[in-house]
Amino acid sequence: MQSETYRGYVLWGHAIREQSEIPERERYSASGTVTRSGKFVEASGILDVVDSESEAEQLGLEWARAWVDNHS
């Protein structure tokens, strides 16, 4: 999980490892969360499934930045 402060909000990018019965390769679900003053504001749900943990976290942070840009 990665976080950053952006325009007064704390943003979180999440990577959730996918589990499958026959693992061919690691895959990660990406999501984002927006908080302000330690309180939950908004969450994305699953944005995409990608090949790396860092890619998933970055995708979540990108979504969170866009949410702040569109709601502040």
Q: Which is more confidently placed, 21 or 34?
A: 34
Note the pTM of the prediction, 2 decimals: 0.91
Angle at 37 between CA 29 and CA 67, to 5 degrees: 45
**pLDDT at 24 > cutoff 80:** no
Q: Where are the domains of the chain?
A: 2-71
pLDDT at position 18, please? Answer: 87
Q: What is the pLDDT of residues 29-56, one digit of tens each?
A: 999 999 999 999 999 999 999 999 999 9
Burial 10-22 (b: 16+ CB within 10 A, else e): bbbbbbbeeeeee
Paired strand residues for 29: 16, 49
Contact by Cβ (8 Å): 44, 66: no
- Looking at residue 8, the DSSP 8-state letter turns out to be T
